[in-house]
């Protein structure tokens, strides 16, 4: 098989005319974020967001052009809503790919200033409808990294499955995907019908992650619009089948990924993970505030790393303090889902891709997660919503 290079892709894309049939999309500087892995080519074409539907033909033309290259098995093209000048764009240098580690630059002809962008009203983000076959979508989120959110998401998903539910997991952290490692999954997804991805499976869970599409050590140098487009594709262009619950492992913070999921996905609710430490709780409050502002129910707070039991002497140590998340839940009148202790076995099994709930049914962690899953399921199943809630309307100003 011929190895496809970034130069090969750019050469093909140079044959695709620009939005107004003037020049080509490479010379106009509209191509960015090219990634190539095992025959799959992924890139973005930056356009005026107001012309997204009108320029769908341009996206298809770019997809066809790259698909003609020998060795290309699949092409993923995203139209991204970058800032675009009102008038014709000046010719620009082709933007470098994420693989090269360079940033995109726009270069105007000598002696000619770049035309100023005309002010335009901020468009409302496109509304997302229900995902066929999925009854409920739950976001597992945290205000900051390092609180064990991904490990919590995996074990919560397995605990929901233990109740007889059909469960899937979407790894929404495109910058630092954890699901391949946590579930011991390797390889890349197959396709159905030449477009939709078939999720991988582990311990009965259907799983999709950006980690299946890029190498583990690849740095994802993506702008916000590319992240938003990638998340939408990972959710809606995947053959999930019939699921009672899709658990979404959110990246930390309150940025583009969170906004995308709140807008594009009709969430049944969100679970917030925090340690008892004051510093973690400060950021957890931001996550709580964000979900409330976008009208997503908060199903409860989990206090992870709540305490540590010495395996040698049995002494209990509250390394990060204790009870902070419970007090926060009480203060905000939210359900407190439970306390998860810090444990060496939990860490070892997570690193080995053998989650503790699936491999140690008698552990205290298994009991705790089963209790938390029961609380979560009772809320969404008893809410009267048999299908996904409609997403809120969010207007960026």
- What domains appear along the chain, each with residue ranges and CATH number? 1-121 (3.30.300.130), 134-381 (3.40.50.300)
Count helices and strands in the chain by DSSP H and E runs: 11, 14
Greatest distance between any 2 Cα atoms in the chain? 76
- Encoding tokens for residue 184? 């011991």
State yes or no: pLDDT of 1 exceeds 60.
no
pTM of this structure? 0.67
Q: Residue 216 in 3-state DSSP?
A: coil
Say whether pLDDT at 368 is over 90: yes
In whole angstroms, what is the distance from residue 77 CA to residue 69 CA? 15
Mean pLDDT value of segment 323-352: 87
217-231: per-residue pLDDT in tens? 666 666 666 777 777
Is a pLDDT exceeding 80 seen at residue 18?
yes
How high is the pLDDT of residue 175? Answer: 75
For residue 227, the SS3 value is: helix
More confident residue, 49 or 387: 49
pLDDT at 82 over 70: no
What is the full DSSP assignment across 150-209? HHHHHHHHHHHHTTT--EEEEE--SSS--HHHHTT--S---EETTTEEPPEEETTEEEEE
- Which residues have CB under 8 Å from 130's CB, separation 6+? 266, 387, 388
- H helix or E strand, kind and range, residue 363: none
Pairing type for strands 316-317 and 74-81 reads: unpaired
Higher pLDDT among residues 251 and 166, named by residue: 166
Tens digit of each residue's pLDDT (9 = 90 or more) over 189-205:
888 876 788 999 999 99
**If you average pLDDT over every residue of the chain, what do you get?**
77
């Amino acid at each position: 098989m011929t190895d496809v290079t970034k130069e090969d892709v750019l050469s093909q894309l140079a044959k695709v005319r620009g939005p107004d049939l003037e020049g080509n999309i490479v010379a106009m500087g509209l191509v960015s974020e090219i990634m190539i892995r095992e025959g799959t080519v992924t890139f973005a074409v930056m356009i005026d967001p107001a012309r997204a539907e009108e320029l769908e033909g341009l996206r298809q033309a770019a997809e066809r052009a790259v698909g003609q290259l020998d060795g290309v098995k699949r092409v993923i093209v995203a139209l991204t809503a970058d800032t675009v000048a009102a008038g014709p764009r000046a010719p620009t240098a082709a933007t470098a790919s994420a693989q090269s580690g360079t940033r995109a630059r726009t270069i105007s002809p000598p002696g000619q200033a770049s035309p100023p962008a005309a002010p335009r009203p901020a468009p409302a983000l496109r509304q997302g409808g229900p995902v066929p076959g999925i009854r409920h979508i739950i976001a597992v989120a945290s205000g900051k990294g390092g609180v064990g959110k991904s490990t919590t998401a995996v074990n919560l998903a397995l605990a929901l499955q233990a109740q007889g539910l059909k469960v899937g997991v979407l790894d929404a952290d495109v910058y630092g995907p954890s699901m391949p490692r946590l579930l011991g999954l390797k390889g890349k997804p197959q396709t159905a019908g030449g477009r939709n991805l078939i999720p991988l499976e582990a311990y009965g869970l259907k799983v999709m992650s950006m980690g299946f599409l890029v190498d583990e050590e690849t740095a994802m140098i993506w702008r916000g619009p590319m992240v938003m487009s990638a998340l939408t594709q990972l959710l809606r262009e995947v053959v999930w089948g019939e699921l009672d619950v899709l658990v979404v492992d959110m990246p930390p913070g309150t940025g583009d990924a969170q906004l995308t999921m709140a807008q594009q996905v009709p969430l049944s609710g969100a679970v917030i993970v925090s340690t008892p430490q004051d510093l973690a709780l400060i950021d957890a409050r931001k996550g709580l505030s964000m979900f409330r502002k976008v009208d997503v129910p908060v199903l409860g707070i989990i206090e992870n790393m709540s305490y540590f039991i010495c395996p040698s002497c049995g002494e209990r140590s509250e390394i990060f303090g204790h009870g902070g998340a419970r007090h926060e839940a009480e203060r905000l009148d939210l359900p407190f889902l439970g306390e998860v202790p810090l444990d060496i076995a939990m860490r070892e099994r997570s690193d080995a891709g053998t989650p503790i709930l699936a491999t140690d049914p008698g552990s205290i962690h298994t009991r705790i997660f089963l209790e938390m899953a029961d609380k979560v399921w009772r809320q969404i199943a008893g809410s009267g919503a048999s299908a996904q809630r409609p997403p809120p309307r969010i207007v960026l100003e």
